[in-house]
Amino acid sequence: MIATLAFASLRRHRARTALAVLGVAVSAAMLLDMVMLSSGMRESFRGLLLSQGFQLRLSPKGTLPFDTEATIRAADSLVALLRARPTVEAVSPVLGGQLHFPVAGATVTSTALGVDPAVQGDYELVAGRNPVAPDEMVANDAVFRALGRSIGDTVRAASGYDPQLRTLSGQRVLRIVGRVRFVYLALDQRAAGLPIGTLRAMNGPAATDRASLVMVRLRPGADVEREREGLLAQLRTVTVISTSEALRQVDERLSYFRQLAVILGAVSLVVGFLLVTTLVTVSVNERIGEISVMRAIGVRRWRVVAQILLESSVIMLAASPIGLALGLVTARWLNSILARFPGLPERIDFFLFQPSAAWTALGLLALCGVLAGVYPSWRGASQPIATTLRQEAVG
Write out the residue range of the structural domain in which residue 206 sits.
62-236
Asked if 276 contacts 368 with a C-beta cutoff of 8 angstroms, the reply is yes
Q: Is residue 271 part of a domain?
A: yes
The pLDDT value given to residue 48: 72
Tell whether 357 and 297 lie within a shared domain. Answer: yes
Distance CA 173, CA 155 (A): 6
Domain boundary (207, 236, 265) is at 236
Distance CA 183, CA 315 (A): 44
Tell whether 36 and 178 lie within a shared domain. Answer: no
The pLDDT value given to residue 104: 78
pLDDT tens per residue, range 201-228: 998 887 788 899 999 999 988 888 898 8
The pLDDT value given to residue 9: 64
Q: Is residue 241 part of a domain?
A: no
Domain boundary (187, 211, 236) is at 236
Q: Is residue 340 part of a domain?
A: yes
Distance CA 245, CA 262 (A): 23
Tell whether 75 and 206 lie within a shared domain. Answer: yes
The pLDDT value given to residue 164: 66
Tell whether 73 and 170 lie within a shared domain. Answer: yes
Tell whether 126 and 79 lie within a shared domain. Answer: yes
The pLDDT value given to residue 384: 65
Low-confidence ranges of the chain (pLDDT < 70): 1-13, 67-68, 162-166, 286-295, 297-299, 301-302, 304-305, 339, 341-347, 379-395
Distance CA 306, CA 309 (A): 5
**First-last CA distance in the chain:** 29
Q: Is residue 247 part of a domain?
A: no
CA distances from 237 to 63, 75, 77, 97, 215 (A): 11, 11, 13, 21, 16
Structurally, how many domains does the chain consist of?
Answer: 2
Tell whether 217 and 70 lie within a shared domain. Answer: yes
CA distances from 282 to 196, 276, 288, 384 (A): 72, 10, 10, 19
Tell whether 24 and 142 lie within a shared domain. Answer: no
Q: Is residue 188 part of a domain?
A: yes
Q: Is residue 109 part of a domain?
A: yes
Distance CA 231, CA 332 (A): 41
Task: Report the DSSP pairing between strands 136-139 and 88-103.
Answer: unpaired
Q: Is residue 54 part of a domain?
A: no
Tell whether 274 and 356 lie within a shared domain. Answer: yes
Tell whether 91 and 141 lie within a shared domain. Answer: yes
Distance CA 311, CA 380 (A): 14
Q: Is the pTM of this model over 0.75?
A: no
Asked if 155 contacts 101 with a C-beta cutoff of 8 angstroms, the reply is yes
Distance CA 119, CA 166 (A): 36
Distance CA 187, CA 206 (A): 31
Domain boundary (188, 211, 236) is at 236
Tell whether 288 and 199 lie within a shared domain. Answer: no
Tell whether 127 and 259 lie within a shared domain. Answer: no
Asked if 109 contacts 100 with a C-beta cutoff of 8 angstroms, the reply is yes
Tell whether 104 and 202 lie within a shared domain. Answer: yes
pLDDT tens per residue, range 145-164: 999 899 999 999 998 876 66
| Three-class HEC string of the chain | CHHHHHHHHHHHCHHHHHHHHHHHHHHHHHHHHHHHHHHHHHHHHHHHHHCCCCCEEEEECCCCCCCCCCCECCHHHHHHHHHCCCCEEEEEEEEEEEEEEEECCEEEEEEEEEECCCCCCCEEEEEECCCCCCCEEEECHHHHHHHCCCCCCEEEEECEEECCCCEEECCEEEEEEEEEEECCCECCCCEEEEEHHHHHHHHCHHHCCCECEEEEEECCCCCHHHHHHHHHHHCCCEEEEEHHHHHHHHHHHCHHHHHHHHHHHHHHHHHHHHHHHHHHHHHHHHCHHHHHHHHHCCCCHHHHHHHHHHHHHHHHHHHHHHHHHHHHHHHHHHHHHHCCCCCCECCCCCCCCCHHHHHHHHHHHHHHHHHHCHHHHHHHHCCCHHHHHHHHHHC
* CA 383 centroid distance within chain: 51
Q: Is residue 57 part of a domain?
A: no
